[in-house]
């Protein structure tokens, strides 16, 4: 892997030099971007960015240049925003100006700027509005979806209980959370042994890991070069094409049984919208958009949530005193017989604080997703032309020492006041902030609470190594943070 990456890097540098002899950076002269490390011709700030740990690289640059600086990804300038105040000022206070979706070449190759997460302008607004309304129609944020989550949590408990030997929970957690979004998008859940379902989960898991690999980071810096080179990054696009084929197959089955008078799920509603606007050449509702939108919903509703739960169980094994306090609160408020309900959360401040601290500490999407300026904008004494790429570095928000007393430590007290009541923190942004706030935030928060309390109500998790050997640092960290593999025994309580 080391040799392969060096070879790819050398080829990328050589081809970049050739390409950029014929290409400018396209940036107008009126831009007044923040200072940053001096870029080199053709390769930009590549020497300042460790593809194996780009998070550490950006943190080091922020110590030198402050809360706002510019780095060059090849010839492409990207403004990096660090710390709560700067990120909040951009995404919230000037939310409209910073609401564009920025460049992420490793994803654009598949999405082509389509779907909810990666579209822009009127298209993004219409697709997002449709998704929010349709997801609400099919239960998101309502009692009906709570019951669906409770049922799936019980299925997960049964699967855990069957497994007497130590096991890695990645697969089962992914299946469970994915089935919740399946019930909304496809109108039904899948058996954990369904081959199509297993393939879908496997492809999403694999891509989340690959997104954070060094080759994926290199692709984002040199997309025009990496496109032609061999390497692990090509597996991302092969996986995407398999995902596209699976969604198309599901859409075809839905179309064959579609009843216009009674849409069953999100996909039915989208297909009906396509029929209604089929004569409109400017419509945003067509097959490609359906595929991309479905992929966006599944990736957000499966991988990020499953990874958060996986991190939560690892952290709770590392800190048994925290686990004991959560289980004590569960017994006091819920007991051992009935299923946890979302109404219990208000009576369980410590558990709520632990879940929030897991999200802050695990930092599943540390880089954030790039934004872009929707119009020429003045910001903190600088001038950003329309289209300027901006990276809201969410890791720096969750590790901001002005907002959290011990930012590098896991401490539920970050979300508790002096009386032990739950305390909201504005610097809590695992779902981003502003106009691009994750549309599934309410559903994700509900799932995290119900899945975690149900598991801790029924089990104590015993690691297969001494607790002091459990490593909470990510296996790799780029677009996402991937926890290190682990196994445990699920001991019935």
* Residues ≥6 apart with Cβ < 8 Å to 43: 13, 16, 74
Helix residue spans in 163-284 (DSSP H): 170-185, 195-211, 214-221, 223-226, 233-256, 266-276
Confidence of residue 21 (pLDDT cuts 50, 70, 90): very low
pLDDT tens, residue by residue, 415-455: 999 999 999 999 999 999 999 999 889 899 999 999 999 99
User: How many domains would you assign to the chain?
Assistant: 1
pLDDT tens, residue by residue, 317-359: 999 999 999 999 999 999 998 999 999 999 999 999 999 999 9
DSSP H/E element including 390: strand 389-392
State how beta strands 476-477 and 488-492 pair: unpaired
Q: What percent of the chain has pLDDT over 70?
A: 93
18 pLDDT above the threshold of 60: no
CATH of residue 160: 1.10.630.10
Q: How far is CA 409 from CA 316, 317, 406, in A?
A: 14, 15, 5
User: Looking up tokens 């061999």, which residue turns up?
Assistant: 230
At residue 68, the pLDDT reads 98
Q: Are 64 and 409 in contact (CB under 8 A)?
A: no
171 pLDDT above the threshold of 70: yes
pTM of the model: 0.90
The residue segments making up the domain with residue 202 are 2-492
Confidence of residue 467 (pLDDT cuts 50, 70, 90): very high
27 pLDDT above the threshold of 90: no
At residue 156, the pLDDT reads 96
Q: What percent of the chain has pLDDT over 90?
A: 66
Report how far residue 62's alpha carbon sits from residue 83's, in angstroms, rounded to the nearest whole number.
9
At residue 1, the pLDDT reads 41
19 pLDDT above the threshold of 70: no
DSSP H/E element including 384: strand 382-384
Q: Across the strands, what pairs with 476?
A: 482
Look at residues 378, 418, 381, 414 and name the one whose alpha carbon lies nearest to residue 398.
414
At residue 379, the pLDDT reads 97
Tally the C-alpha atoms within 13 A of residue 58's C-alpha that lie toward its C-beta: 31
Confidence of residue 3 (pLDDT cuts 50, 70, 90): very low
pLDDT tens, residue by residue, 56-107: 999 999 999 999 999 999 889 999 999 999 999 999 999 999 999 999 888 8
Report how far residue 327's alpha carbon sits from residue 366's, in angstroms, rounded to the nearest whole number.
29
DSSP H/E element including 308: helix 305-318
């Amino acid at each position: 892997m080391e040799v392969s990456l060096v070879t790819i890097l050398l080829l990328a540098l050589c081809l970049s030099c050739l390409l950029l002899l014929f290409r400018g950076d396209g940036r107008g002269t009126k831009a007044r971007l923040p200072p940053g490390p001096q870029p080199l011709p053709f390769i930009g700030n590549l020497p300042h960015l460790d593809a194996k740990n780009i998070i550490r690289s950006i943190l080091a640059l922020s110590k030198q240049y402050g809360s706002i600086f510019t780095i060059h990804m090849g010839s492409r300038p990207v403004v990096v925003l660090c710390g709560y105040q700067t990120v909040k000022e951009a995404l919230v206070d000037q939310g409209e100006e910073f609401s564009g979706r920025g460049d992420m070449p490793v994803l654009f190759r598949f999405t082509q700027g389509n779907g909810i997460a990666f579209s822009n302008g009127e298209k993004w607004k219409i697709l997002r509005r449709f998704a929010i309304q349709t997801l609400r129609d099919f239960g998101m944020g309502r009692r009906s979806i709570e019951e669906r989550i409770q049922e799936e949590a019980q299925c997960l408990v049964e699967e855990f209980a069957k497994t007497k030997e130590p096991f890695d929970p990645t697969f089962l957690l992914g299946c469970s959370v994915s089935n919740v979004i399946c019930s909304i998008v496809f109108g039904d859940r899948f058996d954990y042994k369904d081959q199509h379902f297993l393939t879908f989960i496997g492809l999403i898991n694999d891509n989340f890991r690959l997104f954070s690999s060094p080759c994926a980071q290199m692709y984002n810096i040199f997309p025009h070069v990496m496109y032609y080179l061999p390497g692990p990054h090509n597996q991302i696009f092969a996986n995407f094409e398999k995902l596209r084929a699976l969604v198309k197959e599901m859409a075809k089955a839905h179309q064959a049984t579609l009843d216009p008078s009674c849409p069953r799920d999100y996909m039915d509603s989208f297909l009906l919208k396509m029929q209604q606007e089929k004569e409109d050449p400017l419509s945003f509702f067509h097959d490609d958009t359906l595929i991309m939108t479905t992929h966006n919903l599944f990736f957000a509703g499966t991988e990020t949530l499953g990874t958060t739960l996986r991190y939560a169980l690892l952290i709770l094994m590392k800190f048994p005193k925290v686990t004991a306090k959560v289980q004590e609160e569960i017994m006091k408020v819920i007991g051992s017989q009935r299923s946890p309900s979302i109404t219990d959360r208000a009576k369980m401040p410590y558990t709520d604080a632990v879940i929030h601290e897991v999200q802050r500490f695990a930092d599943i999407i540390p880089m954030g997703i790039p934004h872009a300026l929707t119009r020429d904008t003045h910001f903190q004494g600088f001038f950003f032309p329309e289209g300027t790429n901006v990276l809201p570095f969410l890791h720096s928000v969750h590790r901001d020492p002005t907002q959290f007393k011990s930012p590098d430590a896991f401490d539920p007290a970050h979300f508790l006041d002096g009386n032990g009541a739950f305390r909201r923190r504005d610097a809590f942004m695992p779902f981003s902030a502003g106009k691009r706030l994750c549309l599934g935030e309410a559903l994700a928060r509900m799932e995290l609470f119900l899945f975690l309390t149900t598991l801790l109500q029924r089990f104590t998790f015993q690691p297969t190594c001494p607790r002091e050997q459990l490593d909470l640092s990510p296996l790799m960290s780029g677009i996402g943070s991937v926890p290190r593999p682990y196994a445990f025994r699920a001991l019935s309580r």
